[in-house]
C-alpha cells in the first residue's frame, strides 16, 4: 500500500471493518479502489454507504456517509501521527516516511508479539483493561506454539482456529479430544500434540469469544452457551425432553444439573435488539417450563433463568415467575436470573484467570440466582 492511507480510504474501508482478521480483505479492497476510475470509486463508496444505511438515497449516500465519518478518520490519523511513526498530511493522507519504514515495521512486529490482539474488549472494557499490558510470558493469549500467523502454515492455522472455535476453553481438552477435532487437518496429530504441550495455562479461547458474542443464529447461540456452562463445570443437557409432555417435545434449550437433587432450566434468547421478560414469557416459564421438568432425572427444578445475546429488560418479572410457580404447585420454590452473554463469558474468564476451582465456580454461579439480572461481569462478582 506504499506506506500510505488516505482519509477517504480510512473512512470507507478501515472504519467499516468489523473483525481483526479482515486486514488482508481491507487491504485488497483499498488496492482495488485505488485502481478504479473516478466513476468506479464513486460507485464503490455508494455501495458501502448503502450497505450500512439502507435509508440513504443512492445519490447522496456516499456524501452523507463521508461527512459523518470523516471526523472519526481525522481523529484516528491525528492519534497515529502522535505516535511519531506516521506523518499526517492534513485532510489528505497518513504516510510513513521512507526513512522510517523498517523501524516502524520492526516496532509493530514487536508489539504484536508481546501483546497479541485480545478479544476481551467484546466482554467488557473492564476485562480488557485488566488483561492488557501484561508481559508476554504471562499473557494468556495463544497456545498455537510454532503456528505463527505470519508463517507458511497460515492457512493451516486458520483451519485449526475454525475447528477449535466452538470450544470456550481449549486448554481443558484432552489430547484425544484435540486429535479427534483436528483429524481433518493436514498433520492434525502433530498439531494437536503441539497445542496440548504448549498450554501451561487455562484461558478463554479468543476465537470463541468473538464467535459467541457476535452470534446471530439461535441454535448456535444455544450450543455455545451450553459449552460455556460445561466449562464452568456443570453437567449440561441440551434440549432435554420434558418429563410431563404428551408428545415428548423439547421445551427448554438448556438444563444444568446442580447436584444430586436439583436442576436449573435456562432459556437462551438470541434477540439481537433486546429481550424483554414480559407477562407472556413469565407465564410460560411459570406454568409450562418449570412444571414439566419437575422430576427430570429424579431431581427438582430449583432455579430458572435466561441467557440473552444482548440487552434485557423486565427483571421484575423474575419474582413474578417465583410467585406464579408456587401458586401452580405450593411445593415449588424457585429463584431466577437473567444474564447477558457478555456477563456469562466474563464470569468464566475471571474464574479461569483467578484459578477458581470447578466446585467453587459452580457455587458462585448458582448463588447468583436471586431473581436478579446481570448485564456485565462486575455485577456477578
- Which residues have CB under 8 Å from 121's CB, separation 6+? 127, 128
CA distance 363 to 381: 12
In whole numbers, what is the pLDDT of the chain averaged over residues? 83
Residues 178-198: tens digit of each pLDDT: 788 887 776 777 777 776 666
| Rounded mean pLDDT, 332-356 | 92
23-35 confidence digits (pLDDT tens) = 889 999 999 999 9
Give me the pLDDT at residue 189, please: 78
- Return the pLDDT at 378: 86
List, in sequence order, every residue forming a beta bridge with 337; answer none if it has no partner: 305, 372
Band of the pLDDT at 147, cuts 50, 70, 90? very low
**155-174 tens-digit pLDDT:** 566 667 777 777 787 766 77
Residue 186: predicted pLDDT: 65
Lowest mean pLDDT among 34-38, 219-223, 350-354: 350-354
Q: What percent of the chain has pLDDT over 70?
A: 83
Q: State the Cα angle at 279 between 274 and 285, rounded to 5°.
A: 90
Secondary structure element (H or E) that encloses residue 190, with its range: helix 188-197
Buried b (16+ CB within 10 A) or exposed e, 232-241: bbbebbbebe
Place of cell 492455522: 157
Is there a contact between 3 and 103 (Cβ–Cβ < 8 Å)?
A: no
Res 149 pLDDT > 50: no
The overall longest dimension of the chain from CA atoms, in Å, is 79
The answer to whether residue 356 scores a pLDDT higher than 60 is: yes
Per-residue pLDDT of 62-71, as tens digits, reads 567 787 788 8
Question: pLDDT digit string (tens) for 41-95?
Answer: 999 988 888 877 644 444 555 567 787 788 888 899 999 899 888 999 887 899 9
pLDDT, position 199: 54
Question: In the structure, what pLDDT confidence band is assigned to residue 144 with cuts at 50, 70 and 90?
Answer: very low
- Residue 186 has which C-alpha cell? 493436514
**pLDDT value at position 343?**
94
What residue spans define the domains of the chain?
4-107, 118-207, 215-379
* Amino acid 323: pLDDT: 95
* pLDDT computed for residue 146 by the predictor: 45
Mean pLDDT of 203-232: 89
Reported as a single tens digit per residue, the pLDDT across 276-318 is 999 999 999 999 999 999 999 999 999 999 999 999 999 999 9
Map residue 198 onto helix, strand or coil: coil
Contact assessment for residue 299 and residue 261, using Cβ atoms and an 8 Å cutoff = yes
Which comes out higher in pLDDT, residue 238 or 130? 238
The architecture (CATH level 2) of 215-379 comes to 3-Layer(aba) Sandwich (3.40)
Q: What is the mean predicted confidence (pLDDT) over 12-41?
A: 90
Over residues 209-236, the mean pLDDT reads 92
For the question of whether the overall pTM of this predicted structure is more than 0.75, the answer is: no
Write the DSSP string, 140-204.
-----TT--TTSTTHHHHHHHHHHHTT-S-GGGS-HHHHHHHTTTSTTHHHHHHHHHHT--S---
CA distance 77 to 90: 9
Amino acid at each position: 500500500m506504499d506506506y500510505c492511507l488516505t482519509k477517504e480510504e480510512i473512512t470507507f474501508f478501515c472504519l467499516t471493518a468489523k473483525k481483526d482478521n479482515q486486514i488482508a480483505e481491507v487491504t485488497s479492497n483499498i488496492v482495488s479502489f485505488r485502481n478504479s476510475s473516478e466513476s468506479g470509486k464513486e460507485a464503490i463508496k455508494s455501495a458501502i454507504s448503502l450497505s450500512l444505511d439502507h435509508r440513504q438515497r443512492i445519490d447522496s449516500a456516499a456524501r452523507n456517509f463521508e461527512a459523518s465519518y470523516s471526523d472519526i478518520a481525522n481523529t484516528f490519523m491525528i492519534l497515529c501521527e502522535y505516535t511519531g511513526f506516521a506523518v499526517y498530511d492534513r485532510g489528505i493522507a497518513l504516510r510513513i516516511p521512507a526513512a522510517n519504514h523498517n523501524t516502524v515495521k520492526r516496532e509493530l512486529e514487536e508489539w504484536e508479539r508481546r501483546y497479541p490482539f485480545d478479544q476481551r474488549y467484546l466482554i467488557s472494557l473492564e476485562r480488557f483493561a485488566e488483561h492488557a499490558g501484561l508481559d508476554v510470558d504471562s499473557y494468556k493469549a495463544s497456545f498455537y506454539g510454532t503456528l505463527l500467523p505470519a508463517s507458511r502454515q497460515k492457512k493451516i492455522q486458520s483451519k485449526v482456529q475454525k475447528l477449535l472455535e466452538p470450544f470456550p476453553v481449549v486448554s481443558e481438552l484432552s489430547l484425544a479430544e484435540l486429535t479427534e477435532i483436528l483429524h481433518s487437518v493436514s498433520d492434525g496429530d502433530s498439531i494437536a500434540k503441539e497445542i496440548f504441550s504448549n498450554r501451561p495455562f487455562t484461558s478463554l479461547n479468543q476465537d470463541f469469544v468473538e464467535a459467541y458474542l457476535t452470534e446471530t443464529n439461535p441454535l448456535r447461540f444455544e450450543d455455545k452457551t451450553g459449552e460455556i456452562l460445561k466449562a464452568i463445570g456443570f453437567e449440561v443437557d441440551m434440549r432435554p425432553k420434558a418429563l410431563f409432555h404428551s408428545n415428548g417435545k423439547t421445551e427448554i434449550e438448556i438444563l444444568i444439573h446442580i447436584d444430586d437433587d436439583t436442576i436449573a432450566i435456562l432459556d437462551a434468547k438470541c434477540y439481537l435488539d433486546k429481550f424483554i421478560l414480559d407477562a407472556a414469557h413469565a407465564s410460560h416459564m411459570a406454568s409450562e417450563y418449570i412444571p414439566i421438568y419437575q422430576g427430570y432425572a429424579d431431581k427438582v427444578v430449583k432455579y430458572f433463568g435466561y441467557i440473552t445475546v444482548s440487552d434485557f429488560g423486565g427483571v421484575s418479572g423474575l419474582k413474578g415467575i417465583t410467585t406464579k410457580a408456587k401458586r401452580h404447585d405450593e411445593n415449588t420454590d424457585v429463584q431466577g436470573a437473567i444474564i447477558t452473554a457478555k456477563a456469562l463469558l466474563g464470569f468464566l474468564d475471571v474464574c479461569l484467570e483467578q484459578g477458581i476451582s470447578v466446585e467453587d465456580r459452580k457455587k458462585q454461579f448458582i448463588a447468583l440466582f436471586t431473581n436478579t439480572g446481570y448485564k456485565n461481569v462486575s455485577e456477578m462478582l
